[in-house]
Amino acid sequence: MSDYDLRPRRSVAFIGSECYPFVKTGGLGDVMYALPRALSRQNCDVKVILPRYKCIPWQYQEKMIYRGEFRMDLCKDGRSFYVGIMEYVWDGVVYDFIDNEEFFGSGNPYTNLVDDIPKFCFFAKAALAALNYMNWVPDVIHCHDWQAALVPVFLRTMFAGTPVGDAKTVLTIHNLRFQGVYNIPTIQYWTNLPDYVFNKDALKQGYEDANMLKGGLDYADRITTVSGTYAGEIQTPFYGENLDAHLRYHSGKLRGIVNGIDCGIWNPWTDNKLAVQYDITNVLDRKRQNKRALQEQLGLWQDDHVFVIGLVSRLTDQKGLDLVNAVLPRMMDGHTQVVVLGTGDEQYENSFRHYEDAYRGSVCSNIMYDEGRAHSIYAGADALLVPSLFEPCGLTQLIAMRYGTIPIVRETGGLKDTVQPYNRYTNDGNGFTFDHYDAELLLDAVNRAKTLYFTNRWCWDEMVQRDMDKDVSWEQSAAQYRDLYLELKP
């Protein structure tokens, strides 16, 4: 990017429910961290607005500076609430945390819908009120997922005619499965939004429910999702989570922009969580050392020649784990090891624990959330499995490629857009893929990967280097977001 960017500057407020390193439960947290930083390098002035959860580590809390406080009307019966603003400036990005003990004092970002619905009704309105309070009116307000989806609705109703009402809005869908659905009277009570927004084209869903994401999609000026393929898929009944017709209706303002990863954090050359750091020039030798270290750390048989498959994932239905469960015994041929890292549904946690018992020394199931271990697996594994039922973008396959670990993925959503299948005739591609959601096809993809690894290591190694060389950074995607902001005339 040139130092002399002649395109007009844009100011953007990001509003979302999580952001690394303050609080992260999945890919949204990574995006809320990396995209604002990439945008600030592309002539954008970015503020990120987040809830001040109790679970944010003290090392960040203690550096926050008090920016002010006010009371805000929220509920239908006139109940008003305290809104505090705590600020933290870091690397060109301003983070403003919305403080309220009643909503955010319980610790974790998400608990259950009964508590989460009021929490994010409050958050959406408080974020806009805070922008007015700070007298900072951005050109664009960029909201993320259902937790911030009421922002465009509030903006065009209660905040129309206030300073922040001049801003344009972009709503990004990171995962359509989660929509913030509850009965109309409850959401009406917690927002005091006018009756007309609860019509069937906006918030109303079915006979008695209100859907916060659906309302946001209607009121936003632009909708984005995190890959081109997912943007198409969500307009079909299979992937549309009951909003496919609504999304088809709004398809003119919908587009897909694939995620990147922060190449500062995910850099095997500087990653101090690895046994040995490496780059493209020494990856073949040093990856072997990382594999050894991983096997030693996890109590697996130590052998340079086995094929190590990693799986770093939330353990939920979305991630295709029933396919893995169905064929894992047939993957275990004495030359293969499987390392799982994840938490989630009890059924999957237990089945992976069972496989660890059944194949001790060859399977290791780490039922936990552990950033450090994730880094060790990306560096020490030969391949990473991402057989998702649906995957809006997926970050783990991008991280894997950056670490020279070959992704084995199902061709859906962002996995399809970012992993080009290996072609043995032309010897190009980045990984192994399969199309239909079928355990036998997953097994076939794993076997194709193993065949190349064991019988044609030269071509495998070339792919390792090709993957490390692939541009998986945020720069290109951030430029597409910046262009989108420029399209939206203030």
Binding site for ligand ADP (CB under 6 A): 26-27, 30, 312-314, 341-343, 369-371, 374, 394-396
Report whether 60 contacts 24 (CB < 8 A): no
Angle of helix 283-298 relative to helix 457-469, nearest 10 degrees, comes to 90
Angle of helix 321-331 relative to helix 346-358, nearest 10 degrees, comes to 10
User: C-beta of 319: minimal distance to ligand ADP in Å?
Assistant: 7
Closest CB to ligand ADP among 336 and 397? 397
C-alpha–C-alpha distance, residues 207 and 276, integer Å: 58
Residue carrying structure tokens 């430029």 = 479
C-alpha–C-alpha distance, residues 248 and 158, integer Å: 28
DSSP 8-state secondary structure symbol assigned to residue 344: B
**C-alpha distances in Å from residue 75, one per residue of 118, 186, 190, 197, 278:** 10, 10, 5, 16, 55
3-state secondary structure string across 35-88: HHHHHHCCCEEEEEEEECCCCCCHHHHCCCEEEEEEEEECCCCCCEEEEEEEEE
Closest CB to ligand ADP among 100 and 172? 172
SS3 label, residue 100 = coil
Closest CB to ligand ADP among 87 and 370? 370
User: C-beta of 110: minimal distance to ligand ADP in Å?
Assistant: 13
User: C-beta of 384: minimal distance to ligand ADP in Å?
Assistant: 10
**C-alpha distances in Å from residue 354, one per residue of 13, 225, 316, 349, 387:** 46, 37, 17, 9, 20
Closest CB to ligand ADP among 118 and 407? 407
User: C-beta of 411: minimal distance to ligand ADP in Å?
Assistant: 16
User: C-beta of 490: minimal distance to ligand ADP in Å?
Assistant: 32
Report whether 146 contacts 213 (CB < 8 A): yes
Closest CB to ligand ADP among 344 and 421? 344
User: C-beta of 48: minimal distance to ligand ADP in Å?
Assistant: 18
C-alpha–C-alpha distance, residues 290 and 38, integer Å: 30
Closest CB to ligand ADP among 49 and 398? 398
Closest CB to ligand ADP among 249 and 369? 369
User: C-beta of 395: minimal distance to ligand ADP in Å?
Assistant: 4
Burial of 129 (0-12, 13-18, 19+ CB in 10 A): buried
User: C-beta of 378: minimal distance to ligand ADP in Å?
Assistant: 8
User: C-beta of 343: minimal distance to ligand ADP in Å?
Assistant: 6
Nearest C-alpha neighbor of 383 from the set 353, 346, 326, 422: 422
In degrees, to the nearest 5, what angle opens at C-alpha 425 toward C-alphas 423 and 427? 55
In degrees, to the nearest 5, what angle opens at C-alpha 37 toward C-alphas 31 and 40? 135
Closest CB to ligand ADP among 99 and 233? 233
Other beta carbons within 10 Å of 435: 12
Report whether 411 contacts 438 (CB < 8 A): no
Closest CB to ligand ADP among 395 and 463? 395
For residue 21, say if its preceding peptide bond is cis, omega within 30 degrees of 0.
yes
Residue nearest to ligand ADP (CB): 27
C-alpha–C-alpha distance, residues 99 and 247, integer Å: 34
Which secondary-structure segment (H or E) carries 310? strand 307-312
User: C-beta of 268: minimal distance to ligand ADP in Å?
Assistant: 14
User: C-beta of 21: minimal distance to ligand ADP in Å?
Assistant: 12
316: CB partners within 8 A, 6+ apart: 344, 345, 348
Closest CB to ligand ADP among 96 and 467? 467
Closest CB to ligand ADP among 215 and 342? 342
User: C-beta of 51: minimal distance to ligand ADP in Å?
Assistant: 18
SS3 label, residue 477 = helix
Closest CB to ligand ADP among 26 and 490? 26
